[in-house]
Chains A and B, each alone.
Chain A
């Protein structure tokens, strides 16, 4: 960048008046809508881990990331040293066991991604740019999905590498790992969607955090305890169907039916029909939350 001549007192004196260097026009490329959408996506994704923000906002996501990966590290260490025949934990159950950590991460970061823009009224500024409403929603949705996916997939990678180091069967491990990654992606989409819909309802960050934690813990608590009761009474079918009503059990149902994983919740989908319903409900919930976000931002617009 050239040195602005206006800051040089000598030049000013020579000209006898304060002289601002001229305005320079921009002739470079304008990369348009898709580039702007990508920029927003990257900024939001980085923001979810506190990157490009204050040091304080890095603390929580980084701690949660460490907490998420630590059990995987321990499992791997144990497996390698004790020369286990198989990992003591399925890839697909990992996220289910650590669902609380994912829930906290989502509760902290989803409001950060959308409530801030609402509270400080930055949304109208975005919409005065080339992007359209759907681009904004897409960027935020993709960023949040990416953030949750990094959180859920990173420990799986640790487990997988550990499994290979422990010289477990490459074929089985790879197959299970791939299935778990797909499940992690579905989980990330579902969590991001639900979290953003709740967070986008209120400009108040605190409400968003509380509401998201409430949704995930209460629904899981209620569903799994009713499932347990139903299971006690020998009503496995009802217990299986109940899994539809909480995000975690829904994911568990889909991965146990469609991806051949061991169910980690009390009961999975009872039959093929139920399995199909689980998959449809999952996809419907993801698409539905995207639609609700679009609807929500139609109201915000300018003003």
Chain B
């Protein structure tokens, strides 16, 4: 779908991309990197709008230098920044954009109605866009990228500026673009947590170089751990410590991290052992959730595999990724998902 070879882009002062070689298969692909890592530069080159200093790139089998116009006919692009004129309605705007992609007038109108409905915009679409919420604007931006039924959409930071609920809805929508519409997606973000559960494959770039390119399944194959939080009682003022010694006696690998216990999951019986240990001591079980290593740890390779990485990849048992949107570049304090917590 996208193939680059030694792609390099130098600006007078900085090197935005440094010999980037990628081969991206169809599906939902996340492009992760801190601000200034070269994500937007890569998108510009892929759309044939900016010439690479060195190297080659092909999108949908078309060369970006010589066939830019044909690429743009079959690719959709959702920019990061606001791009909607406030005095025009969503319908008028998207119809115009459809025609700009080469759709005849009647097809443009029909596809606009369809696409706006698919992104979840109904009666509002006849009102001027100036009065829209950020979430609605993001939907219109997505709709204009999809209206000509592209084979691939490039989404630049689509969740920027959205609240957690809006973010989840947008991520769900992006997932559907691939599963329901059959359109491949390249989505950029500087938030790793959200790409982990949206994408099939994640490409991490930093300073214009490729850090890692891997399927999300591989990322999460690392050791599974169980985070356990218990209450204290008069008998056991340090509940966690008491449970820890109990578990170690039972032959499990575990360690305390503040008031949390991190237990390595050996097999299914680990859950029972933990439950029995806690109830045996007469303590309350506040939380028990399964965790996996988060993509975020790529940025701190020294800690990969260390279960002590506080708050590592909180993905609650049974309900995958409920509201986990940690900013990977700054903090590991993922929003505490207590959806899977077992309470006594």
* A contacts, CB < 8 Å to B: 1, 4, 20, 22-26, 28-33, 35-36, 39-40, 43, 52-54, 116, 120-122, 124-132, 301-303
At the interface, yes or no: B163 with Cβ under 8 Å from chain A? no
**In the complex the two chains form, what is the Cα distance from A28 to B40 in whole Å?**
31
Residues on B with C-beta less than 8 A from A127 are: 47, 49
CB <8 Å contact, B50 and A31: no
CB <8 Å contact, A125 and B83: yes
CB <8 Å contact, A126 and B100: yes
**In the complex the two chains form, what is the Cα distance from A116 to B84 in whole Å?**
10
**A30-B73, A116-B85, A124-B83 given as contacts; is B104 within 8 A of A129 (CB)?**
no
Kindly identify which residue among B44, B70, B88 contacts A302, using a CB–CB cutoff of 8 Å.
Answer: B44
Residues on A with C-beta less than 8 A from B180 are: 20, 22-23
Query: What are 23 A-B pairs with beta-carbon distances under 8 A?
Result: A20-B118, A20-B180, A25-B149, A26-B149, A28-B104, A31-B104, A36-B99, A39-B96, A40-B100, A53-B88, A54-B87, A120-B84, A120-B86, A121-B83, A122-B83, A125-B77, A125-B79, A128-B75, A128-B79, A129-B100, A129-B102, A130-B70, A301-B49
Could you mark each residue 71-115 of chain B with 1 if its beta carbon is under 8 Å from any beta carbon of chain A, else 0? 011011101011111111000100011011111100100110110
A132 CB to closest chain B CB (Å) equals: 7
* B contacts, CB < 8 Å to A: 40, 43-44, 47, 49-50, 68-70, 72-73, 75-77, 79, 81-88, 92, 96-97, 99-104, 107, 110-111, 113-114, 117-118, 144, 148-149, 180-182
- In addition to A36-B101, A116-B85, A301-B50, 7 A-B residue pairs with Cβ atoms within 8 Å of each other are A1-B114, A23-B181, A24-B114, A39-B96, A39-B100, A129-B100, A130-B72
Residues on B with C-beta less than 8 A from A129 are: 72-73, 97, 100-102
Chain B: CB-nearest residue to A34? B102
Chain A: CB-nearest residue to B156? A302
**In the complex the two chains form, what is the Cα distance from A31 to B108 in whole Å?**
12
**A28-B104, A130-B69 given as contacts; is B111 within 8 A of A302 (CB)?**
no
CB <8 Å contact, A128 and B77: yes
**A54-B87, A121-B83 given as contacts; is B104 within 8 A of A128 (CB)?**
no
Residues on B with C-beta less than 8 A from A29 are: 102, 104, 107
Listed residue (A29, A124, A127, A128) with the most chain B CB atoms within 10 angstroms of its CB: A128
CB <8 Å contact, A1 and B85: no
Residues on B with C-beta less than 8 A from A131 are: 69, 100
CB <8 Å contact, B110 and A32: no
A173 CB to closest chain B CB (Å) equals: 40
**In the complex the two chains form, what is the Cα distance from A301 to B79 in whole Å?**
12
CB <8 Å contact, B79 and A23: no
**In the complex the two chains form, what is the Cα distance from A1 to B113 in whole Å?**
9
Residues on A with C-beta less than 8 A from B100 are: 36, 39-40, 125-126, 129-131
Chain B: CB-nearest residue to A303? B40
CB <8 Å contact, A30 and B101: yes
Kindly identify which residue among B87, B102, B182 contacts A32, using a CB–CB cutoff of 8 Å.
Answer: B102
A1 CB to closest chain B CB (Å) equals: 6
CB <8 Å contact, A302 and B99: no
Residues on A with C-beta less than 8 A from B79 are: 121, 124-125, 128, 302
CB <8 Å contact, A31 and B86: no
Residues on B with C-beta less than 8 A from A30 are: 73, 101-103, 148
Chain B: CB-nearest residue to A128? B77
Chain A: CB-nearest residue to B96? A43
CB <8 Å contact, A130 and B149: no
Chain A: CB-nearest residue to B68? A132
Residues on A with C-beta less than 8 A from B110 are: 1
CB <8 Å contact, A39 and B99: yes
Chain A: CB-nearest residue to B150? A26
Chain A: CB-nearest residue to B92? A52
B32 CB to closest chain A CB (Å) equals: 20
**In the complex the two chains form, what is the Cα distance from A23 to B47 in whole Å?**
25
Kindly identify which residue among B81, B101, B144 contacts A121, using a CB–CB cutoff of 8 Å.
Answer: B81
**A121-B82, A301-B49, A302-B50 given as contacts; is B96 within 8 A of A31 (CB)?**
no
